[in-house]
Structure 1
């Protein structure tokens, strides 16, 4: 399969998987949270069966796992984890991609009727791709390169190795998981007894060359404030307004440590939503920090803040629950497993890709897998503007990500 044919297969696979709407739904308590993810898993299972994989199974949580058996004496068993869901940011679940051939600069019209344009003024980075073919949407949805570019990447790599049986590779394990976008729910449901890898990779986020092995530590917190109701005519010294206590709590937070005032490795506490009536107020928070020490300090601060408010408002009932979601991949790196990162650097060098190492202000499924003793660094899909209707994916960047995958699979 020559370069042009491989690119065409890659793009065709990407478009085929995009055709299945699979937004995750945060309000759902079911895993997977949407039927589209199950549908996509079934399609992938059929594709994997045709490619000769074994141990293909979809569990009760919509996690699809499979194994591509080794054809050599390679000793390393590698894994890839891709998520089935696309993000729900209030845009259409239907994705209508198209290719801008040989981009020559200037604005790209995504939707003429609604005057939606991708412009160099807003996105100057697009000018780096003059002469490239670029995949965009119709402006009514995200593109979904997060994470269907990864799915297409891995499936195309397996197809390539299946067609070229003379190329040596070790055991390759695949896991396609639901609901990454709503708290890495699916990766927790992997059957790890059937994911017997030395280390693994995710392909999630961002432009050509990005390489991630440092992520946030992340937790969610829920505060419940139960007040005391009374009629205003006789409320003095009786009424306890939970909304006012919530206001006092928010005023205790450091305003400089919020998402809108932080960058790089700076952590934050983010009040994401508040629900209240006259009796009960619920506050939901996200806690993030790259430093484990500072992350733990933020959790302790919140507990002390609740204790303070409880002492100030003895008639109220105030509680907090904090749940760890994922951890910093870097904290799982050691001398024995850092070969997973070393292999990425070697692949980048071989393919002439300049590494762009970033501390991710977020997490990947690898953030959870790494806590399970499976170091899982991340590399680029090639796309820009994730979670936006102006998301775009240069095809040459997508192709180079595929070449990284093939190289990792075929070098012990």
Structure 2
């Protein structure tokens, strides 16, 4: 089985992380993560690996033993089973030959992948692209990594002339909600000199730093009133939320920052005049600055409570 076939096979299992179940302590938060872990286990067994450990929480690990008499370094590779909570539709992967310009994802719905919005497309002229039909996430985060890891295992097993030390492969649940799977992993079980998390970026790119990441949920409770007699009574929670957003530091958002600059990421706003919920992500490379960002949000919320009740 080649890497493309593997990847497409994995995308057919919808493993959207479930934040509500995760908040209740359920792991994996989506039972389909178990389904994907079982599929990976079966493929690894077909390749000849036998020492596969799949746990009740879907954490799955195995080791490809060293094939050398030399004392070679051991390495581990990790990927995660779940996909982002932002989008729950079924993935509809398709392969298109990219010859430049825009890519029509869904002719019926008029959905287009535009070169003007994604200039990195120019790097892939003449290549096959795996895309969705525009109505769902693809799930390449992180099923592309899973396919790469299993394919690497297949490569080394089929090419025993290439000497290597012990190679550990790990597949973890619920990365998309605070690295829950990584935190549940007993790291003492991983006998590796160094490890790579396969979860990012352009071909050939290596990320060697990591940010502090957190989220904040701010709930605005207003006072509903009929518009005919709302004067002095109505407190519109939607407008409070907009005022709150406007008081975030200008320029400290993902679209304005680069490198190791931290930011507030306004991700979701939902509600009505009576109650509105604002969800933000906070990113900062410096731990002390991260704590300051979270404290700023708390101070801002406390100020709103004093002003508006």
Global fold match (TM > 0.5)? yes
The equivalent residue for 2:45 is: 49
Paired residues for 1:88-237 under 5 Å: 88-90=85-87, 92-100=89-97, 103-223=98-218
The equivalent residue for 1:84 is: 81
Describe the SS at the equivalent of 1:27.
helix
The equivalent residue for 1:62 is: 58
CA distance in 1, matches of 2:112, 2:274: 47
CA distance in 2, matches of 1:107, 1:227: 45
Paired residues for 1:10-25 under 5 Å: 10-25=3-18
Shift of 1:242: 9.8
Question: In the alignment, is the contact (CA less than 8 A) between 2:254 and 2:264 conserved in 1?
Answer: yes
CA distance in 1, matches of 2:245, 2:205: 36
CA distance in 2, matches of 1:207, 1:267: 21
Paired residues for 1:367-406 under 5 Å: none
Question: In the alignment, is the contact (CA less than 8 A) between 1:53 and 1:69 conserved in 2?
Answer: no
Alignment root-mean-square deviation, CA: 3.5
Higher deviation after alignment, 152-161 or 277-286:
277-286
Question: In the alignment, is the contact (CA less than 8 A) between 1:82 and 1:202 conserved in 2?
Answer: yes
The count of residues paired between Structure 1 and Structure 2 equals 302
Question: In the alignment, is the contact (CA less than 8 A) between 1:63 and 1:176 conserved in 2?
Answer: yes
1:243-275 alpha-carbon deviations (Å, 9 max, x no partner): 487677555432332344434433223454567
CA distance in 2, matches of 1:281, 1:96: 35
Describe the SS at the equivalent of 1:218.
strand
1:50-90 alpha-carbon deviations (Å, 9 max, x no partner): 22334312222211111111122334221111111222443
Question: In the alignment, is the contact (CA less than 8 A) between 1:21 and 1:95 conserved in 2?
Answer: no
1:31 aligns with 2:27: yes
The equivalent residue for 2:2 is: 9
Shift of 1:116: 3.1
CA gap of 1:206–1:228, structure 2 versus 1, over 3 A, is: closer
1:295 aligns with 2:286: no
CA distance in 1, matches of 2:246, 2:91: 41
CA distance in 2, matches of 1:172, 1:75: 10
CA distance in 2, matches of 1:140, 1:278: 30
Describe the SS at the equivalent of 1:212.
coil
> Unpaired segments of 5 or more residues in structure 1?
1-7, 317-412
1:340-372 alpha-carbon deviations (Å, 9 max, x no partner): xxxxxxxxxxxxxxxxxxxxxxxxxxxxxxxxx
TM-score using structure 2 length: 0.80
Higher deviation after alignment, 158-167 or 25-34:
25-34
Question: In the alignment, is the contact (CA less than 8 A) between 2:261 and 2:285 conserved in 1?
Answer: yes
Question: In the alignment, is the contact (CA less than 8 A) between 1:178 and 1:185 conserved in 2?
Answer: yes
Higher deviation after alignment, 172-181 or 241-250:
241-250
Higher deviation after alignment, 262-271 or 279-288:
279-288
CA distance in 2, matches of 1:229, 1:113: 41
CA distance in 2, matches of 1:110, 1:227: 41
1:324-350 alpha-carbon deviations (Å, 9 max, x no partner): xxxxxxxxxxxxxxxxxxxxxxxxxxx
